[in-house]
């Protein structure tokens, strides 16, 4: 009598020949696996070229295949992407002997956030009712009467910020250490708005201390474009890293130009129609966006 499980146990039913997941050392981002048809497939991924000597020997750190399949490459082995198309191939065979050839394309990746920068300016866009002229883009140091006589925003302008790479998460996002050097004055800005007119003194560090003092960590999410800073006490802030000259249209005839680099942060304030057009409104009540302008020195 024929055992009804013979075919299952022998694998005669199994034509599967797929790569389910694959990871390489120094891979950036999640791989994109496509089964084009029964015979061919493609895999797209990024490799951090700053962490490998060349692309001729990139090690596979893990490889998961469909049940019972075998591949021409294994975890721990290497592929050679040192060619014009930055590609290599992996052949996957099913238990029944059918094959699919995957073309693996490794796009060279370089983490552009790394290096040392000097802080060149601190800019705020804020204001209630920008459609009525209440909005404005202002350098903090252009309004010295708003801040403490010493140790306000100007203390930040001799700072240098260094970002170093420590590695990549399982999702392929880069992370590392950030060092914020206080500069020659050995001071960090204390964002305290002083009392003036009818406006009370207000601690604004919650709005404007977005980059850690001394040391912290950073994480760059390539799916969202968000950079997360983690402070020594575990608190976090999120912003964007802007590269190269760009002008942001803020609406209502207002714009902000980044000339080199910047970290930009969205702020959530509260409309105050009684304070519209004032510095207090722009910096304290209804700040909207904040840029730490940078110049790269290394």
Q: Which of 71, 92, 109 is the last residue of a domain?
A: 109
The percent of residues in the chain predicted with pLDDT above 70, rounded, is: 96
Total domains, the chain: 2
Model pTM score: 0.79
**Pairing status of strand 136-139 against strand 115-126:** antiparallel
Whole-angstrom distance, CA of residue 43 vs CA of residue 18: 11
Summarised one tens digit per residue, pLDDT across range 115-153 is 999 999 999 999 999 999 999 999 999 999 999 988 999
My answer on whether 179 and 203 are in the same domain is: yes
Q: Is 251 a residue whose pLDDT tops 90?
A: yes
Domain span at residue 20 reads 6-109
Residue 43 sits in the same domain as residue 95: yes
**Residue 12: is its pLDDT beyond 80?**
no
Q: How far apart are the first and last CA of the chain?
A: 77
168 with 60, same domain: the answer is no
Give the side-chain half-sphere CA count within 13 A for 246: 13
Whether residues 278 and 192 fall in one domain: yes
Question: For the domain that residue 72 is a member of, what is the CATH number?
Answer: 2.60.40.2340
With a CB cutoff of 8 Å and minimum separation 6, the contacts of 53 are: none
Residues 40 and 136 in one domain: no
In this predicted model, what pLDDT tens digit does every residue of 31-72 receive, in sequence order?
999 999 999 999 999 998 877 888 999 999 999 999 999 999
Q: Is residue 1 part of a domain?
A: no
Radius of gyration (C-alpha) of the chain in whole angstroms: 27
Q: Are residues 156 and 276 in the same domain?
A: yes
- Is residue 17, in this structure, part of any structural domain at all? yes
75 lies in the same domain as 141:
no
């Amino acid at each position: 009598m024929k055992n009804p499980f013979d075919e299952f146990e022998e694998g005669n039913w199994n034509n599967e020949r797929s790569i389910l997941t694959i990871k390489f050392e120094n891979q950036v981002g999640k791989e994109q696996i496509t089964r084009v048809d029964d015979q061919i497939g493609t895999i797209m991924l990024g490799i951090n070229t700053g962490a490998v000597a060349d692309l001729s020997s990139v090690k596979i750190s893990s490889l998961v295949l469909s049940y019972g399949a075998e591949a021409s490459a294994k975890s721990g082995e290497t592929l050679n992407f040192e060619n014009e198309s930055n590609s290599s191939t992996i052949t996957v065979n099913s238990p029944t002997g059918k094959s699919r050839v995957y073309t693996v394309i490794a796009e060279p990746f370089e983490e552009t956030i790394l290096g040392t920068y000097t802080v060149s300016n601190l800019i705020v866009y804020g204001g209630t009712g920008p459609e009525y002229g209440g909005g404005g883009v202002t350098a903090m140091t252009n309004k010295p009467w708003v801040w403490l006589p010493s140790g306000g925003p100007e203390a930040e302008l001799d700072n240098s910020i260094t970002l170093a790479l420590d590695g990549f998460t399982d999702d392929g996002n880069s992370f590392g250490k950030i060092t914020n050097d206080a500069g020659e004055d050995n001071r960090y800005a204390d964002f305290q708005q002083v009392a003036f007119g009818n406006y009370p003194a207000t601690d604004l560090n919650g709005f404007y201390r977005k980059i850690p003092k001394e040391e912290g960590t950073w994480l760059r999410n390539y799916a969202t474009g968000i950079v997360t800073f983690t402070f020594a006490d575990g608190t976090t802030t999120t912003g964007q890293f802007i590269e190269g000259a760009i002008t942001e249209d803020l609406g209502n005839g207002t714009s902000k130009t980044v000339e080199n680099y910047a970290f930009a942060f969205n702020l959530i304030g509260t409309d105050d129609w009684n304070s519209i057009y004032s510095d207090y409104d722009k910096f304290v009540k209804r700040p909207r966006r904040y840029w730490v302008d940078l110049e790269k020195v290394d």
